[in-house]
């Protein structure tokens, strides 16, 4: 392992000069040599797609992989709200520094300052790039770009394309990628899933994939590997992630030596449509903006939870956010809103259908807003969201209060990377949600798209070029398909898949186990965590994993299109990662951002412990998740001094 | 909460070269709040439990935006609800129509070969985009985003066209399996914007050339695609594409090559 | 092999050919109706109109050639697209619901060939009729009436009092109306003639023209059947309309 001491490799000097100087000091690859260097990119979302397009454009030989049928379907596409950029087009006092400041603070002081500053700096280039690709951002009548304020920011710096900003940005990156595929610089491998990383002489040199159509397990050899495979939110089974979102690529890389940083940092979004039954396959997010006009409540009395909400008189309604947080009311931050919804439901005041003996939903009521502003204004503001809600639930939110409940929606944790986005394995780079950097313990709204594109368009092409420049072709150990490192990896994957398809006592579907895992994680490592609960989870998960490998049932051919086998392989990895999440959550004896430990509160709010936990927790795999070794990267804050947040 | 038993006739096909057929299944206790795909999930769990192979179907985001899902239900691409993808279709819609029997088929088009059961290969769409569905701009070489003002109505129109999710319902619904709506939406999105002017002539020629090369049928102006489109993309874009192509091919000095 | 992609090789180009040739034929149909409506102005006016047509051979043959070319182009494109479209979906749906397709659009591949057959019949009846069956004993020589080259008025009016002529005519004209209902709108779309401000007019114009032409053409047999126009007893002789003498070699 080249980087076990967790050297962040961040440049020093004034923060605003760091990225510029770093680029100046980077190595370059001569144009005629670039086509001799193969770059593997796994994932075709904002980070992967943008990196593949840009590196193809630079002349590298790029191989890009995605499990979907087309790179255009990566889950970046589902982002609704927008993308932040410090353009200051609104002249409202925004600046790169302010975006940097907000992001560090929003991340609850658990991110690396240099990375965040670079992100804020690059945000402006992203907008230029996207517009020139033809991304139709919203505009004002004068023809200039429109902005809105998002997630409680004091400035309007969010660019948006209706409610489909992620889609439009992804289509921009996808079109750039398509152009390179046509030019022959990028070879695209859709419907391929990465199953293992090939490490040769300490360097990442390729991947093993399974062709999802014909089941072929193949090795692809390269000079460098980039993972941009998104987050692991589906460890909860129910989340707002796509059904296919998975942790296999990063988890297999972790098992090959890449440290996993801060796995316990997960973000729970407060306004999602609640579960309606056992069959629920995923949760749908509703824009947070709904809380601007909607009032959140539950019945004051338990006997009212099944009553028609319209018949519950005002005095029997418990507007718990307004009562508990008079200053911010319904607009408290995501984590606070989420936790409080959980508490009132824990108290038996939850509404909605009864599932597993519980009712888990709260009302989001627009009655007073409609009375105050009129139905037309509300329709104008939220019409499309109301329509979506009605399509899914069959209820008309203009007439009856919406029901909402929190759901997992982003994971801030991921593979540990240095300033160059290189993991602890030489030659393995990680971008986008798959890495841990930039967002700290909590991600601000409209900054996921920003990070993915900054990594993909502007950071990785430079830092990977620098790596290739320093690791010259003639100094690189040759690696062929028949090398033991390659054949072993392929054989390992084949054996693993064969074992999954032939469990000794096949009884239950992969989903059966996935749901069980999700329940454990949601209960013990969800919105509020306790040492006791986490210990219980750490006990239960290995048992479930053992049962899974004994009883998982897979039918159909293993050498063909087999969605059950694909699911089983993903669940196997979630069952390991879930345990590490709980281990990390247990080790982090503080509350910060998306990680809330009930033992560490001050006045019902998260209490950070900067003295002991102002660090990145990076876990090194040692055989079993339970044996993972903790490495710490201390965090220093030269520019933004840590403060405790309060919303009372 | 209403529940109901439904009879399903599902197209099962082992691979692109096999001839498929309908298999009959009973979906028991279907709940009105289930999504259509969740109903299939439950059927699949039962099949797996009994040692049978689950029905293969494509899906991913289940939010109606990724464009991965799509089946024809009783003759309707994406099912009977307007402007709704199969994943966003909920069973109450089916109940309201009083349907007890569902015929579930894959997108049927020669250019979308069946991979398995209800999953088809839409790689032809990617190749149409690769032929010219982009604005050539090097990363990092862009000018300031506000340098060229774009009238709001133009930008909004481009967004209307850009909403296409590439699901293929237009091809599935078209009596001729034509990809005109998909291709026209992308050509129009880029062709409306000032950034897209430089390549406008080449783009339309190359993309239409590729569309034809893939073997899609021609547009006969029936409008089925527009009705089936979950994003409500208008066939006005097809007229615009036609105009652009006629202009491009009658006025440009050089020819482009036909694909082999 | 590198070949240039020409307009006529594209599906859109072929549709444009269909639209343009369709417009040419539509132009003829409008003129044809305008001429035929002279039947209501009496035998003299009508017959003189027929004579006038013969006196301008450039116009007559120009029109005939353009029409012939238009029919050929229209048919060739239609056939090429039809066979392509059949190939584009080799496996049909077990169930398929039409959501936007109207009857006219759905039956274009029927109304087109029906029209073609009708036009052949129509030509045999009124254009070649005199040439082939001069003695009046053949198909369109009705009892009591002998084909008169110099009296197209009577040829038409008397024909239209006989069901074997009227029934195919009504079918043909209805097929024309239905074909135009979709065809006119479709031609705008295929030629890319659209604008959000005027788009609704395309459908309106298609309906108006289709209805006007259908009713216009139907008015003639209707009038003949109802006895509003009657055969004339007057005799006419126009050398321009009489066939050239057959010279035996």
Q: Which CATH number characterizes residue B44's domain?
A: 3.10.20.30
Q: Is B126 on the interface with A (CB under 8 A)?
A: yes
Of B173, B236, B243, the CB nearest to C199: B236
pLDDT reported for residue A336: 87
Query: Would you say residue A1 has pLDDT above 80?
Result: no
The domain spans of chain C are 14-80+103-233
Band (pLDDT 50/70/90 cuts) for residue C125 is confident
Q: What residues of chain B lie within 8 A of the CB of A394, using their CB?
A: 32-33, 90, 92
- Segment A448-454 mean pLDDT: 98
**Alpha carbon distance A577, A263 (integer Å):** 8
Mean pLDDT score of chain B: 97
Determine whether the interchain pair C11/B218 forms a contact, defined as Cβ–Cβ distance below 8 Å. yes
**Alpha carbon distance B9, A307 (integer Å):** 40
Of A53, A171, A243, the CB nearest to B62: A243
State the catalytic residue, choosing from A334, A359, A529, A545: A334
- Segment A77-90 mean pLDDT: 94
Domains identified in chain A and CATH numbers: 26-265+412-475 (3.50.50.60), 268-408 (3.90.700.10), 484-616 (1.20.58.100)
CB A443 within 8 A of CB A481: no
Q: Is A186 on the interface with B (CB under 8 A)?
A: no
B129 with B100, same domain: the answer is no
Chains C and B touch (3+ CB pairs under 8 A): yes
Q: How many domains does chain B have?
A: 2
pLDDT tens per residue across span B147-203: 999 999 999 999 999 999 999 999 999 999 999 999 999 999 999 999 999 999 999
3-state secondary structure of A622: strand
Band (pLDDT 50/70/90 cuts) for residue A4 is low
- Which of the pair, A152 or A118, is modelled with greater confidence? A118
Query: Would you say residue A242 has pLDDT above 80?
Result: yes
**Alpha carbon distance A536, A575 (integer Å):** 15
The chain B residue lying nearest A169, using CA atoms, is: B162
The dihedrals phi and psi of A567, each to the nearest 5 degrees, come to -65, -45
Does ipTM top 0.85? yes
Band (pLDDT 50/70/90 cuts) for residue C246 is low
> And the tokens for A83?
């993308």
**DSSP conformational letter for A559:** T
B101 with B214, same domain: the answer is no
Question: Which of A587, A640, A580 has the alpha carbon at shortest distance from A613?
Answer: A587
Question: Which of A75, A411, A423, A448 has the alpha carbon at shortest distance from A232?
Answer: A411
The dihedrals phi and psi of B29, each to the nearest 5 degrees, come to 50, 50
User: Percentage of chain C surpassing pLDDT 70?
Assistant: 90
Q: Is B56 on the interface with A (CB under 8 A)?
A: yes
Of A179, A280, A391, the CB nearest to B90: A391
Q: What residues of chain A lie within 8 A of the CB of B115, using their CB?
A: 213, 561
Q: Write out residues 110-129 of B within 8 Å (CB-CB) of C.
A: 110-111
* Alpha carbon of B143: minimum distance to chain C alpha carbons (Å): 32
Question: Which of A514, A515, A503, A537 has the alpha carbon at shortest distance from A625?
Answer: A537
Whether residue B259 lies inside any domain: the answer is: no
* Alpha carbon of A335: minimum distance to chain B alpha carbons (Å): 23
Please report, for residues A242, A297, A298, A400, the alpha-carbon distance to residue A403 in angstroms, rounded to integers and kept in the order given: 22, 10, 10, 9
pLDDT tens per residue across span A580-595: 999 999 999 999 999 9
B246 with B141, same domain: the answer is yes
Domain that holds residue B7: 3-105
pLDDT reported for residue C136: 46
Band (pLDDT 50/70/90 cuts) for residue B253 is confident
Domain stops at, among B74, B105, B136: B105
pLDDT tens per residue across span B215-225: 999 999 999 99
Q: How many Å separate Cα A193 from the centre of its chain?
A: 18
pLDDT tens per residue across span A388-440: 999 999 999 999 999 999 999 999 999 999 999 999 999 999 999 999 989 99
CB C155 within 8 A of CB C39: no
B148 with B197, same domain: the answer is yes
Q: How many Å separate Cα A558 from the centre of its chain?
A: 30
pLDDT reported for residue C5: 87
CB C128 within 8 A of CB C216: no
Query: Would you say residue C232 has pLDDT above 70?
Result: yes
Determine whether the interchain pair C99/B173 forms a contact, defined as Cβ–Cβ distance below 8 Å. yes
Q: What residues of chain C lie within 8 A of the CB of B216, using their CB?
A: 88
B100 with B128, same domain: the answer is no
Determine whether the interchain pair B159/A393 forms a contact, defined as Cβ–Cβ distance below 8 Å. no
**Alpha carbon distance A547, A541 (integer Å):** 10
B96 with B137, same domain: the answer is no
Domain stops at, among B105, B131, B159: B105
pLDDT reported for residue A355: 93
Q: What residues of chain C lie within 8 A of the CB of B255, using their CB?
A: 4-6
Which residue stretches of A471-609 are H helix? 484-501, 510-524, 531-551, 563-587
Whether residue B49 lies inside any domain: the answer is: yes
User: Percentage of chain B surpassing pLDDT 90?
Assistant: 96
Phi-psi region of A296 (alpha: psi -120 to 50; beta: other; left: phi over 0): beta
pLDDT tens per residue across span A329-385: 998 888 889 999 999 999 999 999 999 899 999 999 999 999 999 999 999 888 888
Q: Is A183 on the interface with B (CB under 8 A)?
A: no
Question: Which of A407, A281, A240 has the alpha carbon at shortest distance from B87?
Answer: A281
Band (pLDDT 50/70/90 cuts) for residue C245 is low
Q: CA-CA-CA-CA torsion for B81, B86, B87, B89, nearest 10 degrees? A: 20
Place of tokens 């909402």: A404
pLDDT reported for residue C142: 64
Pairing of strands A615-622, A624-634: antiparallel
Place of tokens 């109304």: C111
Q: What residues of chain A lie within 8 A of the CB of B143, using their CB?
A: 128, 132
B12 with B76, same domain: the answer is yes
Band (pLDDT 50/70/90 cuts) for residue A2 is very low
Active site annotation includes A334 = yes
CATH number, domain with residue B209: 1.10.1060.10
* Alpha carbon of B128: minimum distance to chain A alpha carbons (Å): 9
Mean pLDDT score of chain A: 95
- Segment A438-456 mean pLDDT: 95
Q: What residues of chain B lie within 8 A of the CB of A128, using their CB?
A: 142-145
B159 with B88, same domain: the answer is no
Please report, for residues B132, B191, B192, B241, the alpha-carbon distance to residue B196 in angstroms, rounded to integers and kept in the order given: 11, 5, 7, 14
| CB proximity list for A418: less than 8 A, separation 6 or greater | A3, A7, A8, A9, A10
Please report, for residues A273, A288, A363, A379, the alpha-carbon distance to residue A295 in angstroms, rounded to integers and kept in the order given: 16, 12, 8, 16
Q: What secondary structure does DSSP assign to A303-326, as a single string?
A: GGTTS-GGGS-GGGEE-HHHHH-T
């Amino acid at each position: 392992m080249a980087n076990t001491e967790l050297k962040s490799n961040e440049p020093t000097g004034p923060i605003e000069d760091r990225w510029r100087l770093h680029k100046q000091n980077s190595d370059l690859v001569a144009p005629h040599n670039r086509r001799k260097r193969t770059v593997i990119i796994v994932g075709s979302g904002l980070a992967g797609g943008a990196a593949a397009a840009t590196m193809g454009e630079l002349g590298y030989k790029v191989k890009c992989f995605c499990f979907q049928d087309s790179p255009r379907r990566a889950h970046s596409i589902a982002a609704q709200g927008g993308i932040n950029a410090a353009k200051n087009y609104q002249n409202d006092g925004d600046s790169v520094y302010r975006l940097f400041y907000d992001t560090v603070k929003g991340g609850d002081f658990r991110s690396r300052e240099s990375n965040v500053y670079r992100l804020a700096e690059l945000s402006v280039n992203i907008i230029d790039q996207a517009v020139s690709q033809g991304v139709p951002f919203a505009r004002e009548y004068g023809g200039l770009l429109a902005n809105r304020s998002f997630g409680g920011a004091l400035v309007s710096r969010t660019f948006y394309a209706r409610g489909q900003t992620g889609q439009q940005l992804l289509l921009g990156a996808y079109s750039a990628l398509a152009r390179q595929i046509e030019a022959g610089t990028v070879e695209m491998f859709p419907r391929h899933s990465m199953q293992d990383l090939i490490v040769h002489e300490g360097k990442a040199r390729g991947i093993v994939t399974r062709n999802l159509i014909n089941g072929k397990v193949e090795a692809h050899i390269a000079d460098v590997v980039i993972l941009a495979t998104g987050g692991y939110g589906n460890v909860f089974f129910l989340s707002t992630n796509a059904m296919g979102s998975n942790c296999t690529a990063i988890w297999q890389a972790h098992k090959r030596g890449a440290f996993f940083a801060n796995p316990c940092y997960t973000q729970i979004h407060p306004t999602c449509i609640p579960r309606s039954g056992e069959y629920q396959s995923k949760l749908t997010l509703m824009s947070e903006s709904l809380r601007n006009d909607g009032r959140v409540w539950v019945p004051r009395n338990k006997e009212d939870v099944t009553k028609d909400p319209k018949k519950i008189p005002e005095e029997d309604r418990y507007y718990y956010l307004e009562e508990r947080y008079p200053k911010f009311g319904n607009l408290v931050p995501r984590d606070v809103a989420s936790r409080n919804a959980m508490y009132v439901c824990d108290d038996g005041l939850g509404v909605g259908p009864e599932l597993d003996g519980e009712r888990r939903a709260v009302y989001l009521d627009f009655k007073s807003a409609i009375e105050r502003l009129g139905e037309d204004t509300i329709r104008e503001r939220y019409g499309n969201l109301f329509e979506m809600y009605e399509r899914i639930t069959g209820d008309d939110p203009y007439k009856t209060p919406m029901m909402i409940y929190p759901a997992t929606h982003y994971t801030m944790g991921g593979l540990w990377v240095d300033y160059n986005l290189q993991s602890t394995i030489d030659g393995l780079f990680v971008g986008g949600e798959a890495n841990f950097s930039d967002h700290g313990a909590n991600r601000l709204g409209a900054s996921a798209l920003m990070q993915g594109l900054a990594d993909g368009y502007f950071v990785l092409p430079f830092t990977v070029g620098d790596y290739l420049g320093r690791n010259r072709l003639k100094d690189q150990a040759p690696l062929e398909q028949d090398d033991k490192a390659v054949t072993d990896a392929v054989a390992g994957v084949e054996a693993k898949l064969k074992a999954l398809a032939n469990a000794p006592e096949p009884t239950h579907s992969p989903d059966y186990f996935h749901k069980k895992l999700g329940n454990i994680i949601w209960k013990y490592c969800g919105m509020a965590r306790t040492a006791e609960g986490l210990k219980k989870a750490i006990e239960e998960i290995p048992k479930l994993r053992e049962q899974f490998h004994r009883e998982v049932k897979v039918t159909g051919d293993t050498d063909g299109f087999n969605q059950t086998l694909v699911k089983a392989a993903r669940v196997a990895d979630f069952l390991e990662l879930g345990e590490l999440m709980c281990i990390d959550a247990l080790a982090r004896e503080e509350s910060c951002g998306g990680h809330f430990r009930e033992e560490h509160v001050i006045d019902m709010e998260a209490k950070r412990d900067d003295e002991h936990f102002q660090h990145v927790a990076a876990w090194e795999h040692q055989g079993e998740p339970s044996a993972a070794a903790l490495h710490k990267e201390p965090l220093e804050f030269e520019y933004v001094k840590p403060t405790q947040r309060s919303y009372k | 909460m209403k529940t109901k038993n439904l009879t399903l006739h599902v197209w099962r096909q082992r691979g692109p070269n096999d001839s498929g057929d309908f298999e009959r299944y009973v979906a028991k206790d279907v709940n009105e709040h289930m999504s259509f795909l969740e109903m299939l999930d439950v059927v699949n769990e039962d099949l797996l439990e009994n040692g049978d192979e689950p029905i293969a179907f494509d899906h991913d985001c289940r939010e109606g935006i990724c464009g991965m899902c799509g089946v024809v239900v009783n003759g309707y691409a994406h099912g009977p609800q307007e402007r709704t993808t199969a994943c966003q279709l909920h069973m109450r819609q089916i109940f309201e129509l009083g349907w007890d029997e569902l015929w579930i088929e894959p997108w049927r088009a020669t250019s979308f070969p069946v991979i398995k059961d209800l999953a088809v290969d839409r790689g032809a769409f990617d190749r149409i985009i690769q032929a010219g569905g982009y604005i050539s701009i090097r990363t990092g070489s862009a000018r300031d985003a506000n340098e060229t003002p774009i009238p709001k109505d133009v930008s909004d129109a481009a967004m209307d066209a850009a909403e296409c999710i590439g699901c293929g319902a237009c091809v599935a619904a078209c009596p001729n399996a034509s990809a005109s709506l998909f291709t026209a939406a992308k050509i129009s999105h880029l062709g409306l914007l000032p950034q897209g002017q430089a390549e406008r002539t080449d783009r339309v020629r190359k993309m239409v050339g590729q569309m034809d090369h893939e073997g899609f049928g021609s547009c006969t102006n029936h409008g089925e695609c527009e009705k089936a489109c979950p994003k409500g993309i208008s066939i006005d874009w097809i007229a615009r594409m036609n105009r652009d192509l006629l202009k491009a091919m009658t006025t440009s000095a050089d020819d482009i090559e036909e694909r082999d | 092999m590198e070949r240039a992609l020409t307009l006529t090789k594209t599906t859109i180009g072929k549709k444009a050919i269909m639209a343009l040739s369709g417009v040419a034929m539509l132009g003829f149909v409008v003129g044809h109706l305008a001429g035929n409506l002279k039947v209501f102005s009496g035998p003299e006016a009508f017959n003189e109109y027929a004579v006038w047509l013969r006196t301008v051979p450039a116009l007559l043959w120009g029109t005939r050639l353009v029409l012939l070319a238009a029919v050929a182009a229209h048919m060739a494109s239609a056939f090429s697209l039809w066979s392509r479209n059949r190939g584009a979906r080799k496996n049909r749906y077990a169930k398929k619901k039409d959501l936007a397709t109207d009857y006219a659009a759905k039956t274009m591949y029927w109304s087109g060939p029906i029209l073609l057959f009708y036009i052949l019949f129509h030509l045999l009846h009124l254009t070649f009729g005199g040439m082939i069956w001069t003695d009046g004993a053949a198909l369109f020589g009705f009892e009591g009436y002998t084909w008169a080259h110099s009296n197209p008025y009577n040829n038409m009016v008397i024909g239209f009092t006989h069901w074997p002529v009227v029934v195919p005519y009504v079918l043909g004209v209805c097929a024309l109306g239905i074909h135009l209902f979709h065809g006119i709108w479709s031609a705008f779309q295929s030629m890319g003639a659209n604008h959000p401000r005027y788009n609704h007019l395309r459908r309106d114009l298609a309906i108006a023209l289709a209805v006007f032409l259908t009713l216009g053409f139907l008015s003639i047999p209707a009038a003949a059947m109802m006895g509003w126009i009657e055969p004339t007893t007057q005799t006419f002789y126009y050398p321009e309309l009489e066939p050239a003498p057959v010279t035996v070699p």
